[in-house]
Amino acid sequence: MRGRFIFILSVLLWCMNAQWLSAQSRPHPNPLPGLLKKHWPQTGTVMQAAKDYELQIIYTQIDRDSLNQPHFQTYDLYTNDSLYYYPASTVKMPAAFLALEKLNQLHIRDLDRDSRLAFRAVRPPQTEVEVDSSAPQGYPSIGHYIKKIFLVSDNDAFNRLYEFLGQAELNRRLHDKGYQHCRIIHRLGSEGAAFGPEDNQFTNPVAAYRGAAQLYFQGEVHSVADYDFALQNEQKGVAYFKQGERIEQSFDFSRKNYCALRDLHDMLQAVIFPEAVALERRFDLKPDDYRWLYRWLSGRPRASNVPAYAELPDGYVKFLMYGGATERIPESIHVFNKVGFAYGYLTDVAYIMDTATGVEFMLAATIHVNANQTYNDNVYEYDSIGLPFLRNLGQIIYEHELTRERAFRPDFSKILGN
């Protein structure tokens, strides 16, 4: 009798899922145009000149079945994988994922994300590092660099992961996974500015230690691969500044980093929902890596136990929904994301969930705010146009998600580590 009951229950669940999945597979109209038009007072400034702002948006609705498995419906607006935009610090996200993957694939006993690192310098403008005053242990590690990337978007942390991975290996790994519209070919920030295209082909020697014992050594690596893409609109603007001098010509982005917004969205999806992504597009991470990444992808500076970050607001690197705002984010809302901003470009790639309401969705967007079409003059409309638009966009989608019917409420325990 018990066996018959279980069989009948299984059939009923299968029928429910089959009916639900059939409904999910039907085509749905793109909600983005209607939502943005409905909220025209908040979006009109950008939407009426979307091409000028180089706007791109990707929105993914997530519905769970009775087994809590996610199913996705993705909509986009103005996306173009071949149209150049500057991704800025968003390229730090794949570098973080790949650094953990490389640690796993080295298969060296006792080598992990907390191992002490030492970077050497063999040619200018390379620099050495053996100390990190922001780390509780006082020394650099892959783990602490990744924390700094997601908590405060630290440039030096990315530069060291870039050196650990090597230019060619970093790009090869992404391309092999199918993220073809990426070229990550240079360091970032003020220190990164000292490196020319050829300098960035060389990456520092690095060693890893457990106590005094050296676990791993990687000598200087020279990458010679060609990452030239046939991208549109890599020559931008009417002028730029270089060493204080105004140059009256377009700024050349053809030797700058690039990663299509869709690829960044899909990489984050592969980490948040690895079981729902094709095996070849996943990162080689352990269950503990995922749990650890979720903590820092959604981390807030004040909860980091890093004194230097304690005074930074919750929204410091949370542009969608919060626009870098100073107010505290409700404890029920978790934003797993990576932002970037430079040269007038603002980008955020996020998975957002609310444990109080059961809302969850993915949202990625990039916008370019440079009215005078001049680069390196530090005159960009981040605060007046860019950040308010991203904040409003996130809130519009969140409010829409509150009204969207779900057959099954999501169980977030796996992501939250409960």
Instruction: For the chain, list the domains and their CATH numbers.
Output: 29-416 (3.40.710.10)
Number of H helices, E strands in the chain: 12, 17
DSSP per position, 391-413: HHHHHHHHHHHHHS--SS----H
- In angstroms, the CA 386 to CA 324 distance is 11
**What does the pLDDT profile of the chain (418 residues) look like in tens digits?**
445 544 444 444 444 454 444 444 456 899 999 999 999 999 999 999 999 999 999 999 999 999 999 999 999 999 999 999 999 999 999 999 999 999 999 999 999 999 999 999 999 999 999 999 999 999 999 999 999 999 999 999 999 999 999 999 999 999 999 999 999 999 999 999 999 999 999 999 999 999 999 999 999 999 987 777 779 999 999 999 999 999 999 999 999 999 999 999 999 999 999 999 999 999 999 999 999 999 999 999 987 777 888 889 999 999 999 998 878 999 999 999 999 999 999 999 999 999 999 999 999 999 999 999 999 999 999 999 999 999 999 999 999 999 999 999 999 999 998 7
- In angstroms, the CA 207 to CA 186 distance is 21
Burial category of 235 from C-beta neighbours within 10 Å (exposed 0-12, middle 13-18, buried 19 and up):
exposed
For 157, the token pair is: 């942390």
For 257, the token pair is: 């980093």
AA identity, residue 99:
A
- In angstroms, the CA 414 to CA 78 distance is 34
Indicate the helix (H) or strand (E) that contains 159: helix 155-165
Residue 82: helix, strand or coil by DSSP?
A: coil
pTM exceeding the 0.85 threshold for the entire prediction: yes
* C-beta of residue 238 within 8 angstroms of C-beta of residue 246: no
